[in-house]
Chain A
């Protein structure tokens, strides 16, 4: 029995409007999520690539200023070639683009881990503990509920993708001491923000849809891992098989060519012999160039990387960053006979990016349908 019992007291505060009601759900989810030690660890690890990104951009800024501070690093940067190192300002956009591309590719994996740690329980736990009547008997619409839950994913992905991009951008800008960097690189920042939003919408909605399919968050987590790993592995296997097939065709071509050159008896005259060897070498080079050209052309319609879910996200990101154009420009510094090979090895998938966007849009639509079907408002609850 309390010594002094106040009993029930009336409350005279004001309630906020409906517009930001979803934010209460997001705030609550973030508070719960931050209690997870594993998630906090994953977030910290996810910031490591951002440090490398910031470091790279700062080094490039100093290189543009011909600062003595980066002289010890020039040896390490020699792989870029003298043309780029002598005119770093001319290649600023390309280097920034490629740094951001590598950063986003790495963060894509961390994002999948973060979603794995945050997402599976978002709706499944509400279904398990029958929380829906508590939500929908309050001034919460289903759309508020979905946006609130998506906001939780968005918050954590923002911390992994957008905030580090912004911080690195600001640091890189400060170290370049050149205002022209803003118009040059601002589209990159927009691309990073756009990529973060795409990830949130696509992966966020997908994990919410999966989460609504089961009352056990473990199964949802396993399903998510399945989508991530299985599609990536299947995509890689299909690509590998296709590459093997192409290599096999190329080998057959090369073999047929050698046979045609060696058709006659070997000339006894050393001059003739030398001439034939030069012919053979030239033919082999020509064939190799043809193969690389064919590979590059073939990559433009190769759908196999699309099997991987993360591959699709990466492809759209690649396009938004315009990394293909950056590789092309850097490729100009490579000798002409090795350029195709360089581009083939450096550039990622080259199929039309909107194929991936279309696939992600289809997945988005399916996720919306699942959520609409699985999360019922109170009038349809038993």
Chain B
């Protein structure tokens, strides 16, 4: 288990940030989703042992977050959301210092800093003062300093914030590589659903301090038995009209028709209609929910 929470409640005055939250998440790449004020940051801080919860218990990497905060932070790498720097140092000194703060010896930290800077693509800029780095470089530097001590778990809080598409893609690629090829568990908190979808295989959706949805991404993106995506050889509008006349609900999305068949009907109905209409179906598959739909549905349900 990567982490588990049991009836965790945390309040700030009148505001309840986490409300009786119980959750158990396996190792791997975990996406943390939720609108602003949903409790994502409070949950990360709870997991890092940075805050005292009002009620409940839990553990991360099998360490009780109420008692072994420092041990947890030794085994976790955390890249915060905000722009934050150790001032007046070069990139390599920055990463080495981050390692020393976790407990690495100076020499090890410096050697390791060079390695991780190469890994995140900052090898050329390692001797430049960090104040001169661009936003994307700073994000990658934060990532480098979070993994300098080779943590078991990496927590990235909005890692693609303020980045251009190319830089964003690089950070996503690095995160995916670390989580899927290097055996490092990952908690990826972001409001960009496509980023989470690209990196994570397990999702936790929070809202109002409560758990709205949780599970494997492929399970959450459920297959719809009455909803299909069809692509035809010809133009879709006339066939969509034909399907509507048969009691289906259709939605044309460029070349694709999304069809909901009436209750009790199956995809056979679509084949039959195509044959009658002399249409050639090039592509037909049951529709899957997108992550966006999963997220919106979870938020709406609560």
The yes or no answer to A21 lying at the interface (CB within 8 A) is: yes
Task: Give the shortest distance, in Å, between B62 (CB) and chain A (any CB).
Answer: 17
Contact B87 A10 (CB under 8 A): no
In the bound complex, CA of A286 to CA of B185 (Å): 90
Contact B101 A138 (CB under 8 A): yes
The yes or no answer to A69 lying at the interface (CB within 8 A) is: no
In the bound complex, CA of A17 to CA of B196 (Å): 35
- In the complex, identify which listed stretch (B75-83, B163-171, B223-231, B242-250) lies at the interface while the others stay far away: B75-83
Q: Given A6-B115, A8-B177, A18-B70: A138 and B83 within 8 A (CB)?
A: no
| Chain B residue nearest to A130 in the complex (CB) | B84
Q: Given A7-B119, A137-B50: A131 and B102 within 8 A (CB)?
A: no
Contact B98 A126 (CB under 8 A): no
The yes or no answer to B217 lying at the interface (CB within 8 A) is: no
- Residues in chain B near residue A139, CB distance under 8 A: 70-71, 73-74, 101-103
In the bound complex, CA of A183 to CA of B100 (Å): 43
In the bound complex, CA of A130 to CA of B83 (Å): 7
Q: Given A8-B119, A10-B150, A13-B105: A134 and B84 within 8 A (CB)?
A: yes
In the bound complex, CA of A12 to CA of B73 (Å): 17
Contact A129 B105 (CB under 8 A): no
Contact A129 B74 (CB under 8 A): no
The yes or no answer to A293 lying at the interface (CB within 8 A) is: no
- Residues in chain B near residue A13, CB distance under 8 A: 104-105, 108, 112
Task: Give the shortest distance, in Å, between A208 (CB) and chain B (any CB).
Answer: 16
| Chain B residue nearest to A137 in the complex (CB) | B78
- Residues in chain B near residue A130, CB distance under 8 A: 82-85
Which of B87, B112, B150, B178 has the most CB atoms of chain A within a 10 A radius of its CB?
B87
In the bound complex, CA of A18 to CA of B72 (Å): 12
In the bound complex, CA of A24 to CA of B93 (Å): 12
Which of B48, B101, B178, B182 has the most CB atoms of chain A within a 10 A radius of its CB?
B101
Interface residue ranges of A1-43 to B (CB < 8 Å): 2, 5-13, 15-18, 21, 24-25, 27-28, 31-32
In the bound complex, CA of A13 to CA of B101 (Å): 15
Q: Given A131-B85, A133-B80: A9 and B115 within 8 A (CB)?
A: yes
Interface residue ranges of B130-160 to A (CB < 8 Å): 131, 145, 147, 149-150
The yes or no answer to B51 lying at the interface (CB within 8 A) is: yes
Could you write out 22 A-B pairs with CB less than 8 Å apart? A6-B115, A8-B119, A9-B115, A11-B108, A13-B104, A13-B108, A13-B112, A15-B103, A16-B105, A18-B103, A21-B103, A25-B101, A28-B97, A125-B88, A126-B87, A129-B86, A130-B85, A134-B84, A134-B101, A138-B102, A139-B70, A377-B50
**Interface set of B (CB-CB < 8 Å, partner A):** 45, 48, 50-52, 70-71, 73-74, 78, 80, 82-89, 93, 97-98, 100-106, 108, 112, 115-116, 118-119, 123, 131, 145, 147, 149-150, 177-178, 182
Report, nearest first, the 4 A-B pairs whose CB atoms are least far apart: A15-B103, A11-B150, A24-B100, A379-B51
